[in-house]
């Protein structure tokens, strides 16, 4: 198989027919062998029935049905595990990343790159979503030292060797683009179009973006907890210096009632830093606890494809 296309699906029944038709027409112009792997992530709107109709009539289509909703990244991982293509392309089902942009990625892969990401041009998202993505991209670039503009774009292509390494990783919380880049020797990104969502609403809230940021932070770097430790040392040093200053001032000026408010302010700063440190340490401990339980990332109920019939 030359190309595998992995599409996670969650309550996208109104977009699936158009997505499938555009994918099929586009791939038929590429003169390559291909497969389309749709992973139904516990949809409750009839998406699975539509996907099953695709697999019943098209031998290129495989449908993986989850027992329940496990999340987008678990769905992508399940699709990667099932894929057989020398190049694997991931794509959202909402049509905001046009399928017609896939040939650009495939052409770039022919230059010898291991991973090619899409950089969304003229993003059709609301302001807060774009700002959250902006900070996530900056944070990702600082963690990995790889200056990419768009770590959050689902439209990406991976070489088989990279995919094989990804699926060997068993952690339940991960960030697939960052994981892929850690296994790739040559990484690049290209500009791709971005369309407004035609049907339905986005399933990625700001809270989910925050959780994704924690996946990235705790899964790939110790920098946050190291920064908290450094901040603790600095604050402790300033606290000692300020305490010495207050002691000398008390000897020279005498007791001051107004100083109580200063001490309260300092106390609140210390408490805030302690809570921040506790939260970050707790995030690491919680994720360690989740990993040592060794529960599966997802549970597949059934796979639908003509080769299984």
With residue 268 as reference, give the H or E element that holds it.
Answer: helix 259-292
Q: Which of 25, 179, 152 is nearest to 97 (CA)?
A: 152
Supply the pLDDT for residue 116. 94
Q: Are 102 and 26 in contact (CB under 8 A)?
A: yes
Which phi and psi angles does 12 have, rounded to 5°? -125, 35
Q: Is residue 284 packed enough to be buried (19+ CB in 10 Å), middle (13-18) or exposed (0-12)?
A: middle
Q: What is the pLDDT of residue 280?
A: 74
Those residues with Cβ within 8 angstroms of residue 191's Cβ, 6 or more apart along the chain or in another chain: 118, 119, 121
| Mean pLDDT in order along the chain per 10 residues (309 residues) | 94 93 93 95 93 95 94 91 96 91 94 91 64 64 64 88 90 77 88 76 60 64 67 70 72 65 66 73 73 73 76
* Per-residue model confidence (pLDDT) at position 309: 45
Count of beta carbons in the 10 Å neighbourhood of residue 195: 14
Using CA atoms, how far residue 70 sits from 12, 89, 232, 293, in Å, is: 16, 21, 37, 17
Q: What residues are paired with 137 via a beta bridge?
A: none
């Amino acid at each position: 198989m030359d190309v595998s296309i992995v599409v996670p699906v969650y309550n996208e029944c109104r977009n699936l027919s158009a997505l499938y038709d555009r994918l099929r027409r586009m791939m038929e112009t590429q003169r390559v062998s291909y497969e389309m792997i749709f992973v139904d992530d516990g949809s409750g709107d009839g998406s699975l029935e539509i996907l099953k109709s695709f697999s019943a009539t098209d031998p290129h289509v495989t449908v993986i049905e989850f027992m329940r909703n496990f999340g987008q990244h678990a769905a992508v991982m399940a699709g990667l595990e099932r894929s057989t293509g020398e190049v694997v392309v991931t794509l959202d089902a909402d049509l905001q990343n046009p399928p017609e942009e896939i040939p650009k990625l495939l052409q770039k892969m022919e230059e010898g790159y291991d991973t090619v990401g899409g950089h969304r041009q003229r993003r059709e998202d609301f302001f807060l979503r774009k700002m959250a993505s902006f900070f996530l991209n900056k944070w990702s670039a600082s963690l990995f030292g790889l200056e990419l503009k768009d770590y959050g774009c689902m439209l990406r292509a991976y070489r088989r060797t990279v995919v094989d390494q990804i699926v060997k990783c068993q952690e339940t919380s991960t960030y697939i683009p960052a994981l892929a880049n850690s296994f790739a020797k040559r990484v690049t990104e290209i500009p791709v179009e971005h369309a407004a969502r035609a049907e339905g609403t986005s399933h990625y809230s700001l809270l989910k973006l925050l959780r994704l940021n924690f996946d990235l932070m705790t899964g790939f770097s110790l920098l946050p907890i190291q920064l908290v430790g450094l901040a603790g040392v600095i604050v402790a040093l300033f606290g000692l210096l300020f305490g010495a200053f207050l002691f000398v001032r008390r000897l020279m000026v005498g007791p001051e009632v107004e100083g109580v408010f200063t001490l309260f302010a300092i106390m609140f700063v210390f408490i805030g830093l302690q809570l921040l440190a506790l939260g970050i340490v707790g995030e690491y401990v919680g994720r360690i606890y989740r990993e040592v339980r060794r529960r599966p990332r997802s549970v597949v109920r059934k796979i639908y494809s003509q080769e299984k019939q």
